[in-house]
């Protein structure tokens, strides 16, 4: 399992892209997607919602369980991935590409986000 080097990661298994014009893309990691099993439903935050770092902002339901979705940063949601709402399996098949979840205009970024290497150490996965 390879974690893209250009992303940063939360201890709750979300990834965050570098901001473009103040907006970052957020998704869950391949590690989390594998642990969840087949995702069958995604409840994502709506455009205009305010999310807070470390707090629940949605849910992913799989054939195994329901899991809260946590935002790794604080800010305002600018877009959500309608493709994932329509086909939640994208979270499993392309967690770092087409399976992204939402975009946020970042107002605050916690200092404890992890590099790819630090996240790999946390999950004991190959990087």
| Helix (H) or strand (E) segment spanning residue 39 | strand 39-43
pLDDT band at 103 (very low <50, low <70, confident <90, very high): very high
The dihedrals phi and psi of 83, each to the nearest 5 degrees, come to -60, -35
Residue 126, pLDDT score? 54
Residue 1, pLDDT score? 58
Helix, coil or strand: residue 91? helix
* pTM greater than 0.85: yes
């Amino acid at each position: 399992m390879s974690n893209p080097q250009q992303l940063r990661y939360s201890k709750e298994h979300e990834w965050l892209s570098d901001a473009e014009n103040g907006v970052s893309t957020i998704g869950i990691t391949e590690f989390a997607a594998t642990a969840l099993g087949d995702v069958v439903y995604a409840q994502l935050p709506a455009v205009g919602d305010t999310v807070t770092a470390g707090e629940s902002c949605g849910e992913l339901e799989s054939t195994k369980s329901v899991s809260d979705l946590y935002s790794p940063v604080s800010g305002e949601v600018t877009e959500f991935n309608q493709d994932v709402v329509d086909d939640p399996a994208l979270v499993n098949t392309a967690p770092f590409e087409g399976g992204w979840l939402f975009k946020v205009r970042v107002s605050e970024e916690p200092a404890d986000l992890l590099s790819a290497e630090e996240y790999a150490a946390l999950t004991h996965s190959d990087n």
